[in-house]
Amino acid sequence: MLSYIVRRLGGALVVLFGISVVTFILAYAVPSDPARMIAGPKASMATVLAIRHQLGLDRPLYVQYGAYIWRLLHLNLGMSYVYNLPVTTLIGQRFLPTATLALSAWIAELVIGIPLGIYTARRARKLSDYIVSILALIGISLLIPWLGIVLLYWLGFKIPIFPLGGAGGISHLILPALTYGITGAAAYTRLLKSSMLEVLKQDYVRTARAKGATESRVINRHVLRNALIPVITYGGIDIGYLLGGVVLLEVTFNWNGLGILAYNAISESDIPVIMGTVLLTALLVVLFNLLVDIVYVFVDPRIRYG
Amino acid sequence: MSVQNASAAIGGASKSQKKSRGALFWKSVRKFPMVYVGGLIVFLLVICAVFAPVLALHNPITQYQNGLHMDGTPVGPSKFFPFGADDVGRDVYSRLIYGSRVSLIVGFVATAISLLIGTTLGLISGYFGGFIDTVIMRITDTILAFPFLLFALALVTILGSSLTNVLIAIGILGWGVMARVVRGQVLSVKEFEYVQAARALGASTPRILFRVILPNILGPIIVLATLAVSQNILVEAGLSFLGVGVQPPTPSWGNMIYAGVQDYQFAPWLMVYPGVALLLAVLGFNLLGDGLRDILDPRNATH
């Protein structure tokens, strides 16, 4: 098991290297000149050249990449052109709001998706299964901002139950979480349903039933534990969608987090901030997938890694 | 036996197999009626996009004076504007019809780009294994690590906002899952006798990959591609909503929704119609993809 974890860590390191290369190329491929961005449109060519030299932009690519990695290892993501603050500071200020939002969105997905998955698996091929499946499919086909605005209008404005966007207490979290839950739950429902149907056919489920175990015990102890494995895998993949979707959620609900930071940075060509958020989110995805792979070992007794 | 004969034999075998498989396919389609609904929606969508100039009542970017009230607010659904007019007096219905073109082009072309990259890399990775496999799979992991929407947003910003760049961005970011699935499929079929037979008969590697293995794993690829179309349509709409991608006055459902947000309270048609159009289009591809998956699933096979 230890060698499996070590191997998995090695793979993650290679991916981290890949991520650093991709973000470096993207930052380098930007058509707008960073030196010109800092100096402003009125600065003379000499000033621009001086800044370019100061930033090391006139040195060969591999030297710049080396410097880039060196800065990353020192948690230096550069300075924002617009705010004139270190990118790490900007990200640090907004990390917690985004983490809160993403976590609530994810919980909403699970709270909606998992019970529906169990329900449709137990009612497979009945009318209620079809109705719930179609509803879940409609959910997954909705555009996040569209659903968000409609919910905001009806549940925030017409019937003012929830606040109209912004950050605050739990009441501010419910609508964005619900929006993401509705659009994301179907993936979990679908996955859990098919894996439960597979498990329900197994001999050990029949044995449990033959022993006289109650239906809820069979489902909870025997079926769910085994059927949740692919769901956990998807949880790791989902973090990527979640961190992308959070941009749409934050813009829709005016939630001042990393998503809005990136969104504003994009309209202002603030490259260090864009690259910083892309890098951070990619890092989180790698981390979570690593976590999922390690959790596996403990969840599924059948998986033994030599 | 020469290579030609051998391949003819292989081709012949797969053809007769295909025929019975095709019959089985149509037999099991009946068990999953939602495929028809999905197929119908997709068909209507294609009709909309192709015959947009015929179906549209007005020019989608003309600003009509009678589209606005005296106080400058847009007029609601009427005989002249079936779905109302937008905030500068353009016909929402005609813009909706033309907007289907953007969604479909992004859906199909971006998926085709991802499919080309993902399938090729997946085939190579699965077939050769070893070091090549490791390298390709680590590259795939890298691409999959970037949150799709955020990365597409960054890429389109860097390349510049245009339909072509949206296509490229979505296309070159979306192949990760496809490469993984294709690789898995290749691993499961590459030891079959017909692959070994083709190899023994001296078929070239590209021929084995694309003419022998690929046709046999087409099912899951088609399912994946159909679902990718629906996802890519949503991503395009999301990018348009965030202001990158197709720029007004060219209509796309995403930028129509964005433009309608401000006026939702007194002119709900601006946001409701494009939202519903988007929902139907995405739902159509989802129903089709889900249905095809159920039909092609050997566990649901009709015998």
Residue range B69-79: mean pLDDT, rounded? 82
Best A146, A279, A292, A293 member to test B by mutation, with max B CBs in 10 Å, is A146
Residue A198 distance to chain B (closest CA, Å)? 10
Q: Residue A170: CA atoms inside 13 Å, Cβ hemisphere, count? A: 0
Q: Confidence class of residue A302 from pLDDT cuts 50, 70 and 90?
A: low
CA angle, corner A24, sides to A18 and A26, nearest 5?
Answer: 105
The answer to whether the CB atoms of A267 and B243 lie below 8 A apart is: yes
Nearest CA in chain B to A21: B142
Residue A161 pLDDT: 82
The answer to whether the CB atoms of B287 and A137 lie below 8 A apart is: yes
Fold of A94-253: MetI-like fold (1.10.3720)
Residue B15 pLDDT: 47
Residue A53 pLDDT: 80
Helix A271-299 crosses helix B148-159 at what angle (to 10 degrees)? 160
d(CA B73, CA B146): 42
Question: Using a CB-CB distance cutoff of 8 angstroms, which residues of chain B are in contact with residue A143?
Answer: 234, 237-238, 241, 254, 257, 275, 278-279
Q: Confidence class of residue B131 from pLDDT cuts 50, 70 and 90?
A: very high
| A260, two tokens | 């809005």
Q: Confidence class of residue A31 from pLDDT cuts 50, 70 and 90?
A: low
- Nearest to B61, CA basis, from B288, B195, B256, B263: B256
d(CA B84, CA B123): 50
- A157 contacts chain B (CB < 8 A): yes
The answer to whether the CB atoms of A18 and B286 lie below 8 A apart is: no
Best B37, B143, B158, B180 member to test A by mutation, with max A CBs in 10 Å, is B158
- A191 contacts chain B (CB < 8 A): no
The answer to whether the CB atoms of B265 and A157 lie below 8 A apart is: yes
Average pLDDT value for chain A: 86
Residue B30, pLDDT > 80, answer no
Task: Check if the beta carbon of residue A112 is closer than 8 Å to that of residue A190.
Answer: no
Torsion angle defined by CA atoms of residues A223, A227, A231 and A232, in that order, rounded to the nearest 10 degrees:
90
Least reliable range by pLDDT among B65-74, B87-96, B165-174: B65-74
| A73, two tokens | 């290892």
Task: Check if the beta carbon of residue B106 is closer than 8 Å to that of residue B233.
Answer: yes
Question: Using a CB-CB distance cutoff of 8 angstroms, which residues of chain A are in contact with residue B154?
Answer: 26, 262, 266, 274-275, 278
Residue range B257-261: mean pLDDT, rounded? 90
Q: Which among B139, B149, B265 has the least Cβ separation from residue A247?
A: B149
Q: Confidence class of residue B71 from pLDDT cuts 50, 70 and 90?
A: confident
The answer to whether the CB atoms of B261 and A30 lie below 8 A apart is: no
Task: Check if the beta carbon of residue B113 is closer than 8 Å to that of residue B165.
Answer: no
Residue B6 pLDDT: 45
Main-chain dihedrals φ then ψ at residue B91, nearest 5 degrees: -80, 115
Residue B232 distance to chain A (closest CA, Å)? 11
Main-chain dihedrals φ then ψ at residue B126, nearest 5 degrees: -70, -40
Nearest CA in chain A to B33: A130
The answer to whether the CB atoms of A141 and B230 lie below 8 A apart is: yes
Residue range B79-102: mean pLDDT, rounded? 89
- pTM of structure: 0.88
ipTM of the complex: 0.87
Give B237: exposed, middle or buried? Use CB within 10 Å, 0-12, 13-18, 19+.
Answer: buried
Best A141, A191, A193, A274 member to test B by mutation, with max B CBs in 10 Å, is A141
Residue extents of the structural domains in chain B: 49-64+82-301
Best B133, B142, B233 member to test A by mutation, with max A CBs in 10 Å, is B142
d(CA A263, CA B80): 38
The answer to whether the CB atoms of B154 and A266 lie below 8 A apart is: yes
Question: Using a CB-CB distance cutoff of 8 angstroms, which residues of chain B are in contact with residue A242?
Answer: 147
Q: What is the SS3 assignment for A306?
A: coil
Residue range A268-274: mean pLDDT, rounded? 83
Average pLDDT value for chain B: 86
pLDDT greater at residue B16 or residue A301: A301
Residue range A26-54: mean pLDDT, rounded? 74
pLDDT tens digits, A89-101: 999 999 999 999 9
The answer to whether the CB atoms of B145 and A275 lie below 8 A apart is: no
Task: Check if the beta carbon of residue B152 is closer than 8 Å to that of residue B239.
Answer: yes
pLDDT tens digits, A153-210: 898 888 888 887 777 778 889 999 999 999 999 889 988 998 898 888 888 888 988 9
- Report percent pLDDT > 70 for chain B: 91
Q: Confidence class of residue A33 from pLDDT cuts 50, 70 and 90?
A: low
Residue A305 pLDDT: 52
- Report percent pLDDT > 70 for chain A: 95
Residue extents of the structural domains in chain A: 94-253
Residue B173 distance to chain A (closest CA, Å)? 12
- A43 contacts chain B (CB < 8 A): no
Residue A300 pLDDT: 66
Residue range A37-61: mean pLDDT, rounded? 77
Contacts of B29 (CB under 8 A, 6+ apart): B35, B36, B291, B295
Residue A303 pLDDT: 58
Residue A2 pLDDT: 78
Q: How many CB pairs under 8 A join A and B?
A: 132
d(CA A119, CA A113): 10
- Nearest to B85, CA basis, from B279, B276, B259, B275: B259
The answer to whether the CB atoms of A281 and B154 lie below 8 A apart is: no
- Report percent pLDDT > 90 for chain A: 33
Least reliable range by pLDDT among A1-15, A139-153, B110-124: A1-15
- A19 contacts chain B (CB < 8 A): yes
Residue B1 distance to chain A (closest CA, Å)? 45
Least reliable range by pLDDT among A48-62, B95-109, B203-217: A48-62
Specify whether domain B49-64+82-301 bears CATH 1.10.3720.10.
yes
The answer to whether the CB atoms of B146 and A269 lie below 8 A apart is: no
The answer to whether the CB atoms of A145 and B141 lie below 8 A apart is: no
Residue B64, pLDDT > 50, answer yes
Q: Which of residues 243-302 of A touch B (CB under 8 A)?
A: 243-245, 247-248, 251, 259, 262-263, 266-267, 269, 274-275, 277-278, 281-282, 285-286, 289
pLDDT greater at residue B199 or residue B22: B199
Question: Using a CB-CB distance cutoff of 8 angstroms, which residues of chain B are in contact with residue A201?
Answer: none
